[in-house]
């Protein structure tokens, strides 16, 4: 599901005076807990459909686990 492209995120430290770049490989979790998606994959409808299916599967797994009293994975 992941490609080799990197997505860059700029996060502030020390009350916003220092900014650091974080590189995350496309398809992995970004610093905000969401899926990092590169521009190349964003412009590819087939790839976006695959990502959406994967996110839907994760949601269904978490709902099943929550209904069984296990919480999220």
Within a domain: 1? no
Q: Please give the residue range of the domain that contains residue 12.
A: 6-65
Is 71 inside any structural domain? Answer: no
Q: pTM (2 decimals)?
A: 0.72
Rounded Cα–Cα distance for residues 10 and 58 (Å): 27
Give the model confidence (pLDDT) of 25-69 as tens digits: 998 999 999 899 999 999 999 999 998 999 999 899 999 999 888
Q: How many domains does the chain have?
A: 1
3-state secondary structure of 15: coil
Point out which residues pair with 13 in neighbouring strands: 18
Q: Does the pLDDT at position 15 exceed 80?
A: no
Q: Using CA atoms, how far apart are residues 25 and 21, in angstroms rounded to an integer?
A: 13
pLDDT at 60: 93
User: Is residue 73 included in any domain, yes or no?
Assistant: no
For residue 70, being part of any structural domain is answered with no
């Amino acid at each position: 599901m992941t490609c080799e492209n990197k997505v860059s995120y700029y996060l502030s430290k020390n009350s916003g005076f220092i900014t650091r770049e974080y590189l995350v490989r496309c398809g992995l979790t970004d610093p905000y807990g969401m899926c990092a998606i590169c521009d190349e994959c964003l412009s590819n409808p087939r790839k976006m459909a695959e990502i959406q299916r994967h996110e839907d599967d994760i949601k269904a797994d978490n709902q099943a686990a929550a209904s069984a009293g296990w919480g999220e994975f």
